[in-house]
């Protein structure tokens, strides 16, 4: 099997260009005391996480950028988890690296404590909450393979594969910034795929 594609953030944050990106990043943050929440002031995705663009086509979550910038690590397959349970918060002191399982445990706990009813995504026998769906997309964006993403979620890897390729829930996935992939086509091959014009030229 081809290795899953990861979009590492750290290389983008290095050097002079990286400094400029980070200046742009922190300008969108309501920075407060070290123990307080620092809320993201720009747009949020459907799950409530801040959205940040690196370059013109790479969408990442703001809290992950904050943790990468602060810890200077970017562990593939790990999630940036909140200790404050507030997705819009990007205070690095409220963030830590964790596994898919810890992340979905967090989501479940939060779902219960909020006592909130969550809209479900229906697909046959499978039902995902919106948070869990966001987790699937985060897994795809983080470069996990279908089986890794399906682990700990009420979804099978075949469905993850369909979401990856834009065959299921394409609209919801697009709303979270997901661009459908055929298998694990790399970013470069997707971008350089010839358009009809260049083919006919
Ligand atoms: Zn916080």
- Look at residue 183 in the predicted model and tell me its pLDDT: 57
Q: Which residues surround ligand 1, an ion (CB under 5 A)?
A: 37, 84, 86, 89, 91, 94
Nearest to 5 by CA among 191, 185, 200: 185
* Of 124, 122, 148, 116, residue with least CA distance to 135: 148
80 and 97 in contact (C-beta within 8 Å)?
yes
C-alpha–C-alpha distance, residues 86 and 74, integer Å: 21
The whole model's pTM is what?
Answer: 0.54
How many angstroms separate the CA atoms of 116 and 124, rounded?
23
pLDDT digits (tens, 9 = 90+) for 95-142: 999 887 787 777 777 664 443 333 445 444 456 777 778 888 888 888
Distance 45 CA to ligand 1 centre (A): 17
Domain ranges of the chain: 10-190
Centre of ligand 1 to C-alpha 77, Å, is 22
Distance 84 CA to ligand 1 centre (A): 5
């Amino acid at each position: 099997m081809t290795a899953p594609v990861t979009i590492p953030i750290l290389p983008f944050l290095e050097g002079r260009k990286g400094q400029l990106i980070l200046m742009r990043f922190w300008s969108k943050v309501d920075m407060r005391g070290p123990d307080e929440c620092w809320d993201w002031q720009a747009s949020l995705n459907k799950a409530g996480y801040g959205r940040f663009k690196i370059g013109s086509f790479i969408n990442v979550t703001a809290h992950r950028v904050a943790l990468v910038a602060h810890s200077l690590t970017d562990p593939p397959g790990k999630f940036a988890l909140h200790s404050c349970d507030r997705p819009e918060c990007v205070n690095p002191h409220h963030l830590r690296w964790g596994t898919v399982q810890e992340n979905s445990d967090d989501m479940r706990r939060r779902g219960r404590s909020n006592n909130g009813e969550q809209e479900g995504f229906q697909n046959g026998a499978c039902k995902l909450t919106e948070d869990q769906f966001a987790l699937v997309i985060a897994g795809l964006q983080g470069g996990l393979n279908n089986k890794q993403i399906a682990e700990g979620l009420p979804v099978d890897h075949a469905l993850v594969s369909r979401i990856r390729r834009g065959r299921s829930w394409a609209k919801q996935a697009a709303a979270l910034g997901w661009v459908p992939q055929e298998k694990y086509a790399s970013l470069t091959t997707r971008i350089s795929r010839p358009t009809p014009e260049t083919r006919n030229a």
